[in-house]
Amino acid sequence: QVQLVESGGGVVQPGGSLRLSCAASGIFFSRYDMAWYRQAPGKQRELVASITSGGSTSYADSVKGRFTISRANAKSTLYLEMNMLKPDDTALYYCNRRTTTYAWGQGTQVTVSS
């Protein structure tokens, strides 16, 4: 059974930082391109950042220069370093494969508020 468990979210002030983690099990993690997605209330889930099995990264324009995606294949863990957070970054953040996604986990809530 594939499991994706996100953690690290919380409430931060604008301009603050958070580091999200995604622990994967039940898959050959190192074989797949992975990604972080987010969904705000009333909005569709969107792709935030992705990383290939070889380590190449890509970012949505809205987060480019502020977020960094990385992976630790030996630990089957995906990370998202989030800096200079804005209120518009408030959302439930999920990890998954970049394509042909597995079942979604519970996500981790990020709230940016003054």
For 25-50, the pLDDT digits (tens) are 988 899 999 999 999 999 999 999 99
Per-residue pLDDT at 79 exceeds 90: yes
Residue 104: which residues within 8 A CB-CB, separation 6 or more? Answer: 4, 94, 96
Taking alpha carbons only, the member of 43, 55, 47 closest to residue 97 is 47
Judge whether 6 and 106 are in contact, CB under 8 Å.
Answer: yes
Per-residue pLDDT at 65 exceeds 90: yes
Per-residue pLDDT at 1 exceeds 90: no
Q: What is the mean pLDDT of the chain?
A: 96
pLDDT tens profile 46-64: 999 999 999 999 999 999 9
> Which 3 state secondary structure label does DSSP give 3?
strand
101 vs 111, higher pLDDT: 111
What is d(CA 39, CA 88) in angstroms, rounded to the nearest whole number? 11
- Cβ atoms within 10 Å of 60's Cβ, excluding its own: 15
